[in-house]
Structure 1
């Protein structure tokens, strides 16, 4: 199992779901990925944060969506967190490089320190300065996070932003059907792709990808559990991919990695 004990600057270190239906989401993702849940105090009365574990290691988080977002019809969202050594300094860099600070850095009990921002085109990203919690303890395993795609109409602007703010590198790869695609790198590793919106009207956002052992079987299971498949399974160079929504409409992707076979 690919267990993690630390993350480099700029590396994706955590994902969590903001949803109005916490109980429904916990039931859905437990059945789908084999997660178990732990309830954590947030320091606010009646407010909790839930941590999903996979084989004893933290895999993802879950929290209540703000009521104003629910009232506005905002769908549940998987949020990507990038690891940083100094989140306060990072938030200053966000503003200096054309991004927007949505939530200034604040302490999350003893777990760490969090800031929420939007890159210049509007895709929301979280920056995490680890304390007692580094982020995910397991990745690249069936049921765990493995990859992120930034959907934006301005790949060049996104590359410049993340290079300046968290020191990410940049590379390109030829992808079937997509042409030359930009990738964000941490050290020598590709950690995220930057892709254009497939159709008009799709706002900039991050797509969270989870590893599965069998993409087609998991797609069928998603439907049985009340979710939906919005992009049916198809082959890509790393394996086989599908895009889904949970029963409340939260979008995520699943990928069966060829190297696992």
Structure 2
């Protein structure tokens, strides 16, 4: 069984239109979905699956959440062996507890955190002793890259590497945009081990956030499906080191997401 402590392993979309979002991502990324617990509630939690199984969920923003200012967004869960202890430890290291640890019946215990720069992530310890196995690298429909638009680059980099044990790879100079620091959640330092990057928040991004890159086949075809489905391509397709291509976009409800894939020889 894989050790998921300190690693992103589950991804969740909070949205104003779950059915619309499921149709959009089903077309763009190729997910299948099913209601959790049989769909016996008015607004069920929908589990979405890529080629290697379940990878996340989609749920509705309630009227109460909307009144508090929540807008559609993607969040990520980091595995925790002890959510209460980790929340306290991370707060002492400069993070902030946004929602105190509590139980999700039948699922596990979670907490909502902000890193020192203000980006949100969640901690989760599942109830199942078997846990779940991570998808193979670059599995279709799963997250192939994690990117932090940091509100405080130096503090955030030290926070994630120091508190979760992530390792640092190459730091790439992006000129006026600052440094793009490659990081690995698996402890390796070579390029193939890298699972994400941390960079200063660009001025075009309104708040610090984690951006998740979903793996697709043909990046140009996927970008076309984004536009055809009512989403907006913000950037790309753009080539990145290693031969892949990326697109950054928003879905029809306004949540920001990204895609990573290859470009066909005919493109």
Fold match, TM over 0.5? yes
Q: 1:223 aligns with which of 221, 224, 227?
A: 227
- Counting only pairs closer than 5 Å after superposition, residues 1-261 of structure 1 correspond to structure 2 as 6-41=2-37, 46=42, 48-55=44-51, 57-71=53-67, 74-132=70-128, 134=131, 138=135, 140-174=138-172, 180-186=179-185, 187-188=187-188, 189-199=193-203, 202-238=206-242, 239-256=244-261
Q: Which runs of 5+ in 2 are unaligned?
A: none
Distance 2:262 2:89 in 1: 35
Query: 1:39 offset after TM fit, Å?
Result: 1.1
Distance 1:94 1:113, change over 3 A: same
Q: Which runs of 5+ in 1 are unaligned?
A: none
Worse-superposed segment, 71-80 or 18-27: 71-80
Distance 1:233 1:73, change over 3 A: farther
Q: How many residues align?
A: 253
Residues 185-216 of structure 1 deviation map (CA, whole Å, 9 limit, x = unaligned): 23113222111122266211111111111111
Query: 1:94 offset after TM fit, Å?
Result: 1.7
Query: 1:20 offset after TM fit, Å?
Result: 1.3
CA contact (8 A) 1:14 1:136 kept: no
CA contact (8 A) 1:41 1:47 kept: no
TM-score by length of 2: 0.84
Residues 157-208 of structure 1 deviation map (CA, whole Å, 9 limit, x = unaligned): 0122123432323333326666642233231132221111222662111111
- CA RMSD in angstroms comes to 2.6
Distance 1:179 1:237 in 2: 18
Distance 1:255 1:89, change over 3 A: same
Distance 2:133 2:89 in 1: 25
Query: 1:41 offset after TM fit, Å?
Result: 4.3
TM-score by length of 1: 0.86
Residues 58-85 of structure 1 deviation map (CA, whole Å, 9 limit, x = unaligned): 0221111242443465431110111122
